[in-house]
Amino acid sequence: MTLIKSISGIRGTIGGTVGDNLTPIDAVKFASAYGSWLKEETNKEHPTVVIGRDARISGAMIQQLVMNSLVGLGIHVIDLGLSTTPTVEVAVPIEKADGGIILTASHNPKQWNALKLLNGKGEFLNAANGQKILEKAANDDYIFAEVDDLGSITSDDTYIDKHIEEVLALELVDVAIVKKSGFRVVVDAVNSTGGIAIPKLLKKMGVDVVELYCEPNGHFPHNPEPLKEHLTDLSELVVKEKADFGLTVDPDVDRLAFMSEDGEMFGEEYTLVACADYVLGKTPGNTVSNLSSSRALRDVTEKHGGTYQASAVGEVNVVSKMKEVKAVIGGEGNGGIIYPDTHYGRDSLVGVALFLTHLAEKKCSVSELRATYPSYFMSKNKIQLTPELDVDAILKGFHNKHINEEVTTIDGVKVDFDDCWVHLRKSNTEPIIRIYTEALSQEKADQLAHDTITALKEIAGI
């Protein structure tokens, strides 16, 4: 089954049978459920929804289905066309819209697409609202408008430029110092909309841009998740071009990873660490990331006199905790930067601009900057269980086994030791426990994962 329904939207593979894949009928069903919920939520006959998409091959088809389903409900649509997730998030409040939909499957391969749903603040829906939409879709609970009450579609392709101008206007973004630095940067945008947005931003900051896979045609030249093993072409080109660094974004431009001048990964976890280091140096305060993110953010935050807090995994949970503790910056270890001075959403454009300013002020190479941060190493594994095993009981057993350690249970079980940690989360769709570990060496992280798997099997009696 490749149709996944969650509180944040729906994603699946294109083609196949209705209800098992993201078919045209499924796109219409869930767009209609969202639109119907929005009409009830706003108590408006004609709410407004902003829609944008990444460059996936299926994007234009899905967008037409979604937009016209909303029109059929009497909803007015502002069509941004090719866009990015953070650009749509920025556009919703500017347009005083009631909601937004981003058509993207993020880092998933090209056969996938998805509807990501936003509220009137341009933020992802909370669990309660997401559940209401799932129930509407399950019950076909929507009433379409009569002919005189149909909605409309207005196109506006200027929002990437508006988004860039908002980023450049940030107090902590210093375009002048970046221009003086004369940076040369290689950009791998995996042939999606980052190929429009990121080079434009860089050029406005006076950066010499070398474009790699920046044609937004949806034909991803490699696995679009920005991990080291997928970025060999970027690594080679950074060295060949004698660039100051390389950067890559995922197809919807909410994940950002840097590559040092020597072609080595800066580390996706360290995107947030570096940006937070810069922001905290100018505006001391608190930070937030999710439980599976690197301890390095905590270390950098405490170095600047702030307090670090961890949230449950998921952007909506990070945002909620950031608002609660008034964090000045936060995000996720997958390269997602959330900077409240712009909006409460992961934004690679903001991350690029903050990182460039930081690097220009430091007057050092990217590898030298990376060496200033504590080095942690992660291991990510999973253990497959049989369906009859009680996953919750196994996690509780692991918790009890480490009752004298620092344990967090807001999202699975996380055990913090002096120099390492392990985080266990169960899958919502299959009998799997995901295991994340971090330590001061890769060997120790891998060993901790191995020891954890052994302990879980003992607890489960397998």
> Among 349, 313, 303, 308, which Cα is nearest to 329's?
308
Q: How far is CA 211 from the centre of its chain?
A: 23
> Among 102, 183, 122, 123, which Cα is nearest to 353's?
183
Q: 90, 342 in Cβ contact below 8 A?
A: yes
Q: 212, 233 in Cβ contact below 8 A?
A: yes
Q: Given the structure tokens 């996720």, which residue do they identify?
A: 332
The residues with which 332 forms a beta bridge, in sequence order, are 336
The angle, 0 to 180 degrees and rounded to 10, between the axes of the packed helices 269-282 and 296-303 is: 10
Query: d(Cα 362, Cα 385) in Å, to the nearest integer?
Result: 49
Collapse the DSSP code of 380 into the 3-class scheme (helix H, G, I; strand E, B; otherwise coil) and give the result.
strand
Determine the Cα angle at 106 with ends 102 and 112, to 5°: 90
- How many C-beta neighbours within 10 Å does residue 419 have? 12
Q: Which of 106, 260, 292, 294 is catalytic?
A: 106
Number of H helices and E strands in the chain, helices first, is 15, 20
> Among 332, 247, 324, which Cα is nearest to 297's?
332
- Go through the chain and tell me how many residues it has: 462
Torsion of CA 130, 19, 216, 269, to 10 degrees: 50
> Among 332, 328, 369, which Cα is nearest to 347's?
332
Quick check: is 83 catalytic?
no
CB-based contacts of 225: which residues, under 8 Å, 6+ apart?
A: 107, 250
Residues designated as active site: 106
